Amino acid sequence: MSELLVKNAYVIDPVNGINGEVMDIAIRDQWIVEEVGSGAMVIDAKGQLTLPGGIDSHTHICGTKVNFGRYMSPEDMRAGRMPRRGSMHATSGYSVPTTYGNTYRYSTMGYTTLLEGAMAPLEARHTHEEFTHTPLQDTMANTLFDGNWAIMEAVRDGDMRRVAAITAWTLSAVKGFAIKLTNPGGTEAWGWGEDVTCIHDQIPHFEVTPAEIITAMITANEMLNLPHSVHLHCNNLGKPGNYTCTLDTFDLARDLNKNRQTLYATHVQFHSYGGSSWKDICSKSEEITRSLNSKPHIVFDMGQVLFGRTTTMTADGPMEFNLYRLHHNKWSNHDVELETGAGIIPVLYRRSNLVNSIMWAIGLELALLTDDPWQCCLSTDSPNGAPFVRYPEIIAMLMSRRYREEEMSSVHPGTEHRVPLPAIDRELDWEEIAIMTRAAQAKALGLIDIGKGHLAPGAEADIAIYPIQIRDVDPSVDYMKVKEAFATTAYTIKRGRVVARQGDCVVDGINSTIWVDPQVPPEYDISNDPEFVKKFDRYYTVRMRNYPVQDVYLERQVCLRPEVSL
Provide the binding-site residues for other proteins, judged by CB under 8 A: 62, 64, 67-68, 70-74, 77, 81-84, 86-87, 89-93, 98-100, 122-123, 125-126, 129-130, 133, 149, 191-193, 205, 321, 324, 330-338, 344-345, 538-543, 545-546, 550, 552
Q: From the CB of residue 349, how many other CB atoms can be counted at a distance below 10 Å?
A: 18
**Nearest approach, Cβ of residue 260 and other proteins (Å):** 32
> Choosing among Zn ion, other proteins, none, which partner's interface includes residue 277 (Cβ < 5 to 8 Å by kind)?
none
**Nearest approach, Cβ of residue 266 and Zn ion (Å):** 6
**Nearest approach, Cβ of residue 118 and other proteins (Å):** 15
β-pair type (298-301, 263-265): parallel
Residue number, 63 or 453, with CB nearest to Zn ion: 63
**Nearest approach, Cβ of residue 232 and Zn ion (Å):** 11
Q: Which residues make Cβ contacts (< 8 Å) with residue 85, sequence separation at least 6?
A: 504
Residue number, 345 or 355, with CB nearest to other proteins: 345
Residue number, 107 or 441, with CB nearest to other proteins: 107
Residue number, 324 or 515, with CB nearest to other proteins: 324
Residue 518 near Zn ion by CB under 5 A: no
**Nearest approach, Cβ of residue 475 and other proteins (Å):** 36
Side-chain half-sphere exposure of 83, counting CA atoms within 13 A:
1
> Choosing among other proteins, Zn ion, none, which partner's interface includes residue 530 (Cβ < 5 to 8 Å by kind)?
none
Residue number, 338 or 498, with CB nearest to other proteins: 338
Please provide residue 57's backbone torsions phi and psi, each rounded to the nearest 5 degrees.
Answer: -90, 5
- Dmax (CA) of the chain: 69
β-pair type (557-560, 504-505): unpaired
Q: From the CB of residue 22, how many other CB atoms can be counted at a distance below 10 Å?
A: 13
**Nearest approach, Cβ of residue 185 and other proteins (Å):** 16
Site for Zn ion in 217-256 (CB under 5 A): none
> Choosing among other proteins, Zn ion, none, which partner's interface includes residue 180 (Cβ < 5 to 8 Å by kind)?
none
Contact map string, positions 110 to 149, toward Zn ion, x by CB under 5 A? -------x--------------------------------
Q: At 81, is the secondary structure helix, strand, or coil?
A: coil
Residue number, 123 or 146, with CB nearest to other proteins: 123
> Choosing among Zn ion, other proteins, none, which partner's interface includes residue 98 (Cβ < 5 to 8 Å by kind)?
other proteins
Residue number, 139 or 375, with CB nearest to other proteins: 139
User: How many Å apart are CA 421 and CA 417, to the nearest integer?
Assistant: 10
Residue number, 465 or 549, with CB nearest to other proteins: 549
Q: From the CB of residue 2, how many other CB atoms can be counted at a distance below 10 Å?
A: 12
Cite the beta strand spans of 207-268 per DSSP E: 230-233, 263-265
Are residues 349 and 306 in contact, defined by beta-carbon separation less than 8 angstroms? yes
DSSP structure class, residue 233? E
Residue 341 near Zn ion by CB under 5 A: no
For residue 107, what is the enclosing H or E element? helix 99-108
Burial of 283 (0-12, 13-18, 19+ CB in 10 A): buried
> Choosing among Zn ion, other proteins, none, which partner's interface includes residue 381 (Cβ < 5 to 8 Å by kind)?
Zn ion
Residue number, 320 or 432, with CB nearest to other proteins: 320
**Nearest approach, Cβ of residue 182 and Zn ion (Å):** 8
Shortest Cβ contact with Zn ion: which residue? 117
Are residues 487 and 473 in contact, defined by beta-carbon separation less than 8 angstroms? no
DSSP string of 457-501, one letter each residue: TTSB--EEEES--GGG--TTT-HHHHHHHHHS-SEEEETTEEEEE
Residue number, 335 or 431, with CB nearest to other proteins: 335
Residue number, 541 or 565, with CB nearest to other proteins: 541
User: How many Å apart are CA 238 and CA 226, to the nearest integer?
Assistant: 30
Q: At 74, is the secondary structure helix, strand, or coil?
A: helix
Q: From the CB of residue 521, how many other CB atoms can be counted at a distance below 10 Å?
A: 9
User: How many Å apart are CA 104 and CA 176, to the nearest integer?
Assistant: 24
> Choosing among other proteins, Zn ion, none, which partner's interface includes residue 12 (Cβ < 5 to 8 Å by kind)?
none
**Nearest approach, Cβ of residue 340 and Zn ion (Å):** 13
For residue 363, what is the enclosing H or E element? helix 354-369
> Choosing among other proteins, Zn ion, none, which partner's interface includes residue 533 (Cβ < 5 to 8 Å by kind)?
none
**Nearest approach, Cβ of residue 38 and other proteins (Å):** 32
Residue number, 67 or 236, with CB nearest to other proteins: 67
> Choosing among other proteins, Zn ion, none, which partner's interface includes residue 117 (Cβ < 5 to 8 Å by kind)?
Zn ion
Sign of CA dihedral 305, 307, 312, 316: positive
**Nearest approach, Cβ of residue 180 and Zn ion (Å):** 9
**Nearest approach, Cβ of residue 144 and Zn ion (Å):** 11
Residues in contact with Zn ion, counted by CB under 5 A, come to a total of: 2
Amino acid of residue 239? K
User: How many Å apart are CA 389 and CA 340, to the nearest integer?
Assistant: 29
Binding piece for Zn ion, criterion CB under 5 A, among 374-382, 450-458, 485-493, 549-557: 374-382
Angle at 458 between CA 453 and CA 460, to 5 degrees: 45
**Nearest approach, Cβ of residue 335 and other proteins (Å):** 4
Residue 381 near Zn ion by CB under 5 A: yes
Burial of 293 (0-12, 13-18, 19+ CB in 10 A): middle
**Nearest approach, Cβ of residue 475 and Zn ion (Å):** 28
Angle at 185 between CA 329 and CA 68, to 5 degrees: 35
Find how far residue 362's CA is from the centre of its chain: 18
Which residues sit opposite 5 in a β-bridge? 26, 42
Residue number, 249 or 492, with CB nearest to Zn ion: 249
> Choosing among other proteins, Zn ion, none, which partner's interface includes residue 512 (Cβ < 5 to 8 Å by kind)?
none
Binding piece for Zn ion, criterion CB under 5 A, among 376-384, 401-409, 467-475, 494-502: 376-384
The site for Zn ion (CB under 5 A) is made up of 117, 381
